[in-house]
A and B are shown apart, each in its own frame.
Chain A
Amino acid sequence: MKKLLFCLILGGLGWVTISAFNETKSTLTDGFLIGDPEIASITSLSFGPEGILFIGDSKNATIYALDTEDADPKDESAEINLGDFDTKIAASLGRTKDQIKVTDMAVNPVSKTVYFSVNLVDGTPVLLKLEEEALVNIPLNNIGYSKIVLSDAVEVDAEDKRGRPLRIWAISDMKYHKGKILVSGLSNKEFGSTFRSIPFPFKDTQDYASLEIYHAAHGQYETFAPIKTFDVIALENKEYLMASYTCTPLVLFPMEELKEGKHTKGRTVAELGSGNSPLDMISFEKEGKPYFLMSNTNRSVMRIDYTTIADFKESLTTPVTEFAKATGVGYVSLPMVNVLQLDNLDANKVVYMQRTSSGELILRSRSTKWM
């Protein structure tokens, strides 16, 4: 009997082990096709789990999920310090630096590898990654992928049979968050802003939320201002979309309220000065405290403490009257200007791409201790 019990337990353990093994195996790439996803442009990069890279393609108004097969976990990244980085990228593609443009940068949070999207002069998109100090090309014509076309939620016209030109959605930012791809964008025709939330693995659904902010620098409510960059932050156990707009209001939207067809009013927590446009936004932890960083076109990198946002309970609903004055939650200006790309490298480091005062494009890592 004891023997039987032992066998049963052993069998049970074996089953549990197999089940556990099966559970850890990815299901996210199960429906992926292998081949050429026909990416026309790379506007935005963002990593999801298991080394899945999301690519925002403004030309095709499509989001692609690519299986980079780069999913070996690594805790820490080596330091990065590369000069003349645009020349390096250009030369590795057989070009001079005036013939390329780095359109985005993202770090694979699993392998800690830095990825770059590059545009050639004729618009050919290229995906590169950094292995130690060498650039490696990721061929885009034979890769595991899944894709979803951004539906034109503003105008779906069944009567239109003339093959009119498609409206372009310029994707301004894109991030993966808990099983969803969040996308902000603007149209090339009407002055409109859109924000979409798309479940991943891709199905046929995508939520299209309409957002309203009080634009303190503009002194009125706006629904059309374009979101430039955003992040998702958790404050007091609640998740918020932290959106940064052109002319720099910083606005919080409760994530749970961003739903299809629902018009959500955001809470403007800071007006970081007009005459500036935000470029990139990341969250990080330093000594156990969460912060976020924002790089800008005409300001230095700003650091904002999460607790100051949580403590700032009011919403800015009175106009800022002094030009380029910042109000609302406070921020610390870091001595870093012209930071064009920014991402978390590992738990203790960020990586950034910066145009120095001499015009050189550098790629560096920096400890969060100094951020």
Chain B
Amino acid sequence: MDVIPSGVTDKKIKVYLVLFCFLTGFGCKKNTTQTTTQVNWANKKAVSVAFAYEGPAQGLGIYVADGKQTVLGQFSIKEGACTFVPVVPFAEGQSYQIRQGSTTIGEFQIGRAKTERPKLLAIYPSADTVPENLLKIYLHFSEPMQEVGNALDFVSVTHREENREVPIFLELQSELWNADHNRLTLWLDPGRIKTNLIPNQERGLPLRKGNSYTLSISKNWKDAHGMELGETGIKTFYVAHRDGERPLPEHWTIHIPKPGSLEPLILDFNEAMDATLATETFQVHRSGENEIRGTYTLMNEERSLLFLPKEPWSKGSYTVIVESRLEDLAGNNLNHLFDSKLDLASAMEPTSEKKRILFEVL
């Protein structure tokens, strides 16, 4: 039995199908011939298998090695050659058997289209100190991760002083991944963060001030190709006081670039912002005109945002527009606190979809 080498692409790879009993050396009077097979690949997927076959169509089946259920798909037999197209491509790393009735007439194994391990690129927030009402943690991976099992089975948080695992995340059946399945949002249980809610009263905040915790991402977490991370991802953080104030753009510091230059425009928030929202809630406009094209990058542990324009700055008035849904680490947005009662008084407070910061390039 040969294994298809790694890194195979669209071309047809020939593999030799050797009889199982021949390989294992056990005496087996049946099936002493050797059959050649081809596994056909398209877009890095093993889409079909072809093998020499003279027998009847009835009773012929492809099985996962030692499985009881035939693999769903379509056979076509023509002039001593048989092709099988499974309804979904064969699985990487998986061994299969070709059986006629209860007799195994051959085996083949699918190689891996990719052998590089996925990487945990970032954990947000990136600071080592977080507020005790931290609301979200984001995990960014280099590859799309597996879409089976539960993400929380691979993520654990340990209270360092007490050396015990603490359940801090909200369990959701619908996990909050991005479309590429390489970025995961984890919510710390909001019912425990909101003051005086029953879960908060009964179990307290998920994270407690003055304590240290370790977030561990299991090395066994696999990507969509079945490759494990291989290394445990660790982040240790200290929990500081509660963040009970919403971000106020009028308190931010703005570093204005020189005219004619490609210098960045820098906004210092004086606190860390939500890493996802902070990169998508800002726009820079030449006052009264269209948006200026450029790139936004978070720096300084999400405490600063750097905007690099594509074209040099010209003299004149500019406006930074920021959507009010921007949040700090505690989920406080520009309009209201995450932990605020939905009473009449807060409903009367003026809110706006966007805030504007004006500046002049002189």
B interface residues, Cβ below 8 angstroms from A:
62-64, 67-72, 86-88, 90-91, 94, 96, 135, 144, 146-149, 170-179, 181, 185, 187, 190-191, 194, 196-199, 201-203, 222, 224-226, 276-277, 280, 283, 291, 293, 321, 323, 325, 327, 331, 338, 341-342
Contacts and interface: CB of A to CB of B under 8 A. Distances in A.
B147 A121 contact: yes
B86 A94 contact: yes
Contact of B177 (A171, A188, A212): A188
Interface of A: 40-41, 43, 58-60, 87-88, 90-96, 98-101, 119-124, 126, 135-137, 139, 155, 157, 159-162, 164-166, 168, 170-172, 185-186, 188-191, 212, 215, 217-224, 226, 228, 246-247, 274-275, 277, 279, 297, 319-321, 323
A120 B291 contact: no
Contact of A222 (B88, B149, B175, B342): B342
Contacts of B199: 217-218, 247, 274-275
Given A218-B194, A218-B199, A95 B94 contact: yes
Contacts of B178: 165, 168, 188
8 contacts: A43-B174, A91-B64, A101-B149, A123-B224, A135-B69, A155-B325, A220-B197, A274-B198
A246 B192 CA distance: 13
A161 B285 CA distance: 12
A281 to B, nearest CB: 13
Q: Which 3 A-B pairs have the closest CB atoms?
A: A170-B174, A91-B69, A122-B224
The interface centre, meaning the residue of A99, A122, A126, A186 with most chain B CB atoms within 10 A of its CB, is A122
B198 A319 contact: yes
Contacts of A323: 198, 202-203
A294 to B, nearest CB: 14
A136 B87 CA distance: 10
A61 to B, nearest CB: 9
B171 A121 contact: no
B194 A188 contact: no
B148 A218 contact: no
Contacts of A215: 197
Given A92-B70, A95-B64, A40 B179 contact: yes
A88 B69 contact: yes
Contacts of A168: 176-179
Given A95-B64, A188-B177, A119 B88 contact: no
A155 B71 CA distance: 45
Contact of B69 (A92, A319, A321): A92
Contacts of A88: 68-69
Nearest to A220: B341
Contacts of B325: 155, 189-190
A212 B341 CA distance: 13
B88 A120 contact: yes
B149 A126 contact: no
A159 B199 CA distance: 40
A215 B199 CA distance: 11
Given A168-B178, A219-B197, A98 B148 contact: yes
Contacts of B197: 215, 217-220
B191 A274 contact: yes
Contact of A124 (B69, B88, B176, B201): B88
Contact of A99 (B148, B194, B196, B323): B148
Contacts of B90: 94
Nearest to B226: A121
B259 to A, nearest CB: 24
B295 to A, nearest CB: 9
The interface centre, meaning the residue of A41, A88, A159, A320 with most chain B CB atoms within 10 A of its CB, is A159
Given A120-B147, A320-B198, A221 B342 contact: yes
A344 B90 CA distance: 34
Contacts of A165: 178-179, 280
Nearest to B294: A162
Contact of A96 (B64, B191, B224, B342): B64
B91 A94 contact: yes
Nearest to B194: A218
Given A122-B225, A221-B342, A277 B173 contact: yes
B181 A91 contact: no
A170 B144 CA distance: 17
Contacts of B172: 170, 186, 226, 246, 277
Given A162-B291, A168-B176, A191-B187, 11 more contacts: A91-B67, A91-B69, A95-B94, A98-B149, A126-B87, A155-B323, A170-B172, A189-B277, A190-B325, A218-B198, A220-B341
Nearest to B196: A219
Contacts of A161: 291
B58 to A, nearest CB: 16
B246 to A, nearest CB: 14
